[in-house]
């Protein structure tokens, strides 16, 4: 006797699996809000700053962030975002090439005095296979790049949130040392905006 084939049941199971995968993907950008210590923003402050993604984008375009997320293989320097004068290159792991390793000059903290190397733990650029470029990106381009694991280094949105909220290297942007302009929007406000953008579905402008 030939086995009985039930195509409807198989099709139904396949549809259920596909639906489950779509739900998993869609919830990447809809996590429950954390109860972190972030300030409440007034309506006037929201209007002044724009929407949540615009707040995040403004910080990612600041020299303290963009200099380590350049369009080429050389890190940038200064508020004018000029190419690193020591001819430093990204290298295969993002931490420099040959003897010009990032940690050779960039220690775990800023050296005291203007024009001396800044420092923070794990000073590096993104790896070359996924450089996560901020430079030259429109708000929509950078937004879509950041929310997509195939272009953001394989990270979940929660990993990106933790990186911005807790990583000392990111925190350096608010304490960059003498002669460098710190990020002007307080870190807690940026974290709150990033949290709201993720929980709201990671919507991106055109």
128 part of a folded domain? yes
CB 38 within 8 A of CB 191: yes
Output the pLDDT for position 50.
Answer: 60
72 part of a folded domain? yes
Number of domains in the chain: 1
Q: What is the pLDDT of residues 75-108, one digit of tens each?
A: 999 999 999 998 999 999 999 999 899 999 999 9
- Contacts with 70 (C-beta within 8 Å, 6 or more apart), sequence order: 76, 125, 133, 134, 135
Asked if residue 154 has pLDDT above 70, the reply is yes
Domain limits for position 168: 43-199
Overall pTM > 0.85? no
20 part of a folded domain? no
65 part of a folded domain? yes
Cα separation, 50 vs 112, in Å, equals 36
Cα separation, 196 vs 72, in Å, equals 31
The phi and psi torsions of 137 (rounded to 5 degrees) equal -90, 135
16 part of a folded domain? no
Mean pLDDT of 129-150: 96
29: confidence class by pLDDT, cuts 50, 70, 90: confident
96 part of a folded domain? yes
Residue recorded with tokens 């403004």:
58
9 part of a folded domain? no
30 part of a folded domain? no
């Amino acid at each position: 006797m030939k086995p009985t084939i039930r195509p409807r049941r198989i099709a139904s199971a396949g549809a259920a699996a596909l639906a489950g995968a779509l739900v998993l993907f869609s919830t990447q950008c809809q996590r429950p809000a954390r109860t972190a210590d972030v300030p409440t923003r007034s309506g006037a402050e929201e209007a002044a700053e724009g929407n949540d993604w615009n707040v995040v984008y403004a910080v990612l375009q600041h020299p303290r962030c963009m200099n380590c997320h350049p369009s080429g293989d050389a890190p940038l320097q200064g508020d004018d975002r000029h190419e690193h004068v020591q001819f430093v290159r990204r290298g295969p792991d993002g931490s420099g090439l040959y003897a010009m390793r990032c940690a050779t000059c960039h220690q775990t903290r800023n050296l005291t005095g203007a024009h001396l190397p800044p420092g923070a733990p794990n000073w590096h650029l993104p790896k070359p296979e996924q450089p996560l470029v901020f430079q030259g990106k429109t708000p929509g381009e950078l937004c879509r790049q950041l929310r997509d694991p195939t272009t953001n280094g394989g990270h979940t949105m929660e990993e990106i949130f933790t990186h911005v909220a807790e990583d000392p290297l990111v925190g350096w942007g608010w304490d960059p040392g003498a002669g460098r302009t710190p990020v002007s929007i307080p870190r807690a406000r940026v974290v709150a905006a990033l949290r709201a953008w993720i929980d709201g579905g990671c919507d991106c402008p055109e």
